[in-house]
């Protein structure tokens, strides 16, 4: 899976992608992440990538030209790719594991557009429909019901959740945990933890070695938590 991230702050991604599972996935070529800065391609003579909204209103909007020209440049280089383009948007469809796994199964390349300021000129979405080859897909996606200052954190969350779905990115143990993601109550050593005077004890069943019972206990806990 190749992620193409369009952002005016490309270095924001470096530290997160430079550690742990994602760094290993990049090193082993299971995933690839390329960043593109619209400032490098803007036709504005002062190098601007934002402007005032027509009709008035607070703040600035990201202009369409540098973003659309960046997309054009990206898709020109890979003729056989299957493109998913994601515009990060607080009011977009909610990111989920299901969305991530369907995207990974269906597409080879994901372009994520990180908004800043008060958002992005609406003609980016309209222009994408003109530019993208048949079989591509465009979504506006939110990572939660709140407003962040920019699309870079959402892009990193999306890369993370989708990469976990790419075969070989997670090790065997972590993959197992993925299928058990619903185990809500987990414990590790020591079996008895003293907090001030109070003993906090690991449930006996988890120390029993009886995996059938352990699974039943976990399922019971999760049902309770979900109110089933
Ligand atoms: N005025 C915009 C609105 O109310 O929808 C908010 C713009 S926000 C300050 C700037 C950018 O951050 C957005 O264009 C989007 O790219 C990104 N963003 C903020 N919150 C987000 C969220 N919850 N999910 C996805 N992207 C988000």
Distance in Å, CA 38 to ligand 1 centroid: 17
Which residues, in sequence order, are bridge partners of residue 192? 201
What residue segments make up the domains of the chain, in order of their start? Answer: 2-174, 181-225
May I ask the CATH architecture of the domain 2-174? Answer: 3-Layer(aba) Sandwich (3.40)
Alpha-carbon distances, residue 87 vs 4, 6, 36, 151, 161 (angstroms): 12, 10, 15, 9, 16
Which residues, in sequence order, are bridge partners of residue 88? 141
Model confidence, pTM: 0.93
Distance in Å, CA 140 to ligand 1 centroid: 11
pLDDT of residue 181: 47
12 burial level (CB within 10 Å; 0-12, 13-18, 19+): middle
pLDDT of residue 210: 96
Query: Is residue 93 a contact partner of residue 99, using CB atoms and an 8 Å limit?
Result: yes
Ligand 1 close to Cβ of residue 151 (< 6 A):
yes
Ligand 1 close to Cβ of residue 143 (< 6 A):
yes
Pick among 1.10.1270, 1.10.10, 3.30.460, 2.60.40: CATH of 181-225: 1.10.1270
Alpha-carbon distances, residue 80 vs 83, 103, 134 (angstroms): 9, 17, 11
Query: Is residue 92 a contact partner of residue 141, using CB atoms and an 8 Å limit?
Result: yes
Q: Do domains 2-174 and 181-225 have the same CATH topology?
A: no
Per-residue pLDDT of the chain (228 residues; tens, 9 = 90+): 999 999 999 999 999 999 999 999 999 999 999 999 999 999 999 999 999 999 999 999 999 999 999 999 999 999 999 999 999 999 999 999 999 999 999 999 999 999 999 999 999 999 999 999 999 999 999 999 999 999 999 999 999 999 999 999 998 766 656 665 456 789 999 999 999 999 999 999 999 999 999 999 988 887 776 666
């Amino acid at each position: 899976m190749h992620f193409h991230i369009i952002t005016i702050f490309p270095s924001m991604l470096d530290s997160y992608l430079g550690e742990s599972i994602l760094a290993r996935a990049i090193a082993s070529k299971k995933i690839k992440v390329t960043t593109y800065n619209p400032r490098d391609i803007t036709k504005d003579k002062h190098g601007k990538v934002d402007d005032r909204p027509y009709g008035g209103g607070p703040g600035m909007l990201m202009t369409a030209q540098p973003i659309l020209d960046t997309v054009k440049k990206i898709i020109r280089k890979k003729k056989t790719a299957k493109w998913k383009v994601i515009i990060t948007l607080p009011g977009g469809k909610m990111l989920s594991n299901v969305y991530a796994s369907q995207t990974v199964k269906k597409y080879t390349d994901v372009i994520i557009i990180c908004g800043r300021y008060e958002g992005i000129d609406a003609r980016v979405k309209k222009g994408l429909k003109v530019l993208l080859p048949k079989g591509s897909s465009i979504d506006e996606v939110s990572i939660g019901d709140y407003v962040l200052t920019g699309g870079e954190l959402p892009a990193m969350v999306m890369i993370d959740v989708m990469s976990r779905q790419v075969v070989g990115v997670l090790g065997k143990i972590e993959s197992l945990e993925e299928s058990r993601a619903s185990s809500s109550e987990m414990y590790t050593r020591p079996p008895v933890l003293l907090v001030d005077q109070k003993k906090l004890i690991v449930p006996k069943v988890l120390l029993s070695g009886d995996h059938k019972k352990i699974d039943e206990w976990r399922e019971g806990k999760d049902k309770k938590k979900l109110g089933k």
